[in-house]
Amino acid sequence: MSFDIESVFGLNLAQWLELEFAGNTMRNILLALVVFLGTFVILKIFRKVILKKLGELVQKTETDLDDEFLDLVSHISSLFYWFLAFYLSSKVIQTAEWLETFLDGAFVILVVFEVIKVAENLVDFGMRRMASKRDQTAVAGIKLIAKIILWSTGLLLVLSNLGVNISSLVAGLGIGGIAVALAAQNILGDLFASFTIYFDKPFQIGDLIVLGNDKGRVKKIGLKTTRIQTLHGEELIISNKELTETRIQNFKKLTRRRVVFSIGVTYNTKTEKLKKIPKIIGEIIQSLEFEFERTHFREFGDFSLNFEVVYYVNSQSYDEYMDSRQLINFAIKERFDKEKIEIAFPTQTIYVAKE
């Protein structure tokens, strides 16, 4: 037995499609249902099939940015897909003005929310790529500011689409921002200085640096101050703004240390032995596998004949540098004793005139 609309309702199909319900014909209601189901199916296919195929393609690329972006898109909330299908289908039928306004506002809020979520994750991804454990504090500050900007922009966009006049609000925020900036000028100066330190990287945690008369290792780089552990053991706290405005010596960048030192022998050393000294010192330094540059009889000192020695240590370690000096000094003393060359020490000769 076949189902016949006309026999049940006394209407043929064309008449039934023109029936109205809440101001909409059955034709429009069925069309809205088709749009809802069609949109949802298309989005489901996009999520389950197209994104999967794209995932296989991006895995073959060298960069991982596309992998991250595709992962973020694939994790968009299911609620968003349901609402998008419902929202598009609602545009096919007539709805009350208040409901249309509500749906428009809800759609804008949901879209902005999902976009901000994706943008936040991209910011986190970028910070992870740029940062190391040494930069966690500065990264946290940059992420905080980036997220404040994202959410503020999103809020203004939502308010604007909801019909709120944001011109006065933006002007008020601008005036308030200027007032806050003037009140917190020093704090903001240190904050932006921390960003300068982060991006320019004049030093990092663990680096041995010299600031004027102070010398120590960087312990922590904060948003406002940097803490340095001096060689004497105390903690030195310096504002980031001051650090960016002063000259800094960073010994972490020192990979090849040039060492210059002087050694003096007594004036009664014979000339032939003086001439042997540059060769002796050169042989000692080369035998210890350091890079020898030169030794010269530099000057006649107040109480000694002075030689200048130059060599290189291929290390940034201060301990290795001092070890090299110690080894060379021991070897020079031992060789000079063997050659009977006397190392000078401060002396004075007093001549007494006879009357």
Q: Residues 153, 203: one domain?
A: no
Residue 349 in domain: no
Q: Is-contact 191 205, C-beta < 8 A?
A: no
Half-sphere exposure (Cβ direction) of 290: Cα atoms closer than 13 Å: 28
Task: Tell me the C-alpha distance between 203 and 252, whole Å.
Answer: 8
Query: Looking up tokens 């020079």, which residue turns up?
Result: 332
Q: How far apart are CA 141 and CA 136, in angstroms?
A: 9
Domain for residue 129, yes or no?
yes
Backbone phi and psi for residue 104, each to the nearest 5 degrees, phi listed first = -60, -45
What CATH number has the domain bearing residue 200? 2.30.30.60
Instruction: Sheet containing 291-300: give its strands across.
Output: 257-265, 305-313, 291-300
DSSP code for 343: B
Residue 16 to residues 7, 30, 65, 91, 95, Cα–Cα distance (Å) = 12, 12, 54, 22, 21
Residues 21 and 154 reside in one and the same domain: yes
Which of the 8 DSSP states describes residue 206? Answer: T
Using an 8 Å Cβ cutoff, are 341 and 275 in contact? no
Q: Which residues pair with 314 in a beta bridge?
A: none
The answer to whether the CB of 303 falls within 8 A of the CB of 350 is no
Q: Which of 246, 258, 235, 254 is nearest to 311 (CA)?
A: 258
CB-neighbour burial class of residue 324 (10 A; exposed 0-12, middle 13-18, buried 19+): buried
The reply to whether 17 and 115 lie within a common domain is yes
Distance CA 299, CA 221 (A): 47
Contact 126, 91 (CB under 8 A): no
Structural domain total, the chain: 3
Same domain for 240 and 271: no
Q: Are 119 and 150 in contact (CB under 8 A)?
A: yes
- Cα→Cα distances 132→67, 90, 128, 194, 348, Å: 21, 49, 7, 15, 60
229 touches 209 (CB < 8 A): no
CA 154 and chain centroid, separation = 25
What's the pLDDT score for residue 171? 58
Co-location of 87 and 71 in the same domain: yes
Dist. CA 83–CA 195, nearest whole Å: 41
Domain that holds residue 103: 12-162
Which amino acid, residue 331?
A
**Domain-located, residue 171:** no
How would you write the pLDDT of the chain (355 residues) with one tens digit per residue? 444 545 445 555 565 556 666 566 667 677 777 777 887 778 777 777 776 776 666 666 666 666 666 666 666 777 777 777 777 777 777 666 777 777 777 777 777 887 777 777 777 777 666 655 445 555 666 677 777 777 777 777 777 766 666 665 555 555 555 555 444 555 566 667 777 777 677 788 888 888 888 888 888 887 778 888 888 888 888 888 888 778 888 887 778 889 999 999 999 999 999 999 999 999 999 999 999 999 999 999 989 999 999 999 988 777 888 999 999 999 999 999 999 999 998 877 777 776 6
Q: How does DSSP classify residue 95? A: -
Alpha helices by DSSP H, listed for 50-166, are 51-58, 65-74, 78-90, 97-130, 136-161
**Considering the domain boundaries, does residue 289 fall inside one?**
yes
Say what the pLDDT of residue 140 is. Answer: 64
* Torsion region of 182: left, alpha or beta (phi above 0 gives left; psi -120 to 50 gives alpha): alpha
**What is the rounded distance in angstroms from the CA atom of residue 56 to the CA atom of residue 264?**
74
SS3 316: coil
157 in the same domain as 35: yes
Note the pTM of the prediction, 2 decimals: 0.46
**Domain membership flag for residue 344:** no
Query: What's the DSSP call for residue 317?
Result: -
Are 140 and 246 in the same domain? no
Give 58-63's long-range contacts (Cβ < 8 A, gap of 24+).
none
Residue 52 and residue 118 in one domain = yes
- Evaluate whether residue 45 is within a structural domain: yes
**Rounded Cα distance, 321 and 73, in Å:** 55
Regarding whether 148 and 19 lie in a shared domain, the answer is yes
Contact criterion met (CB below 8 Å) for 312 and 259: yes
Tokens 């209601």, residue located: 29
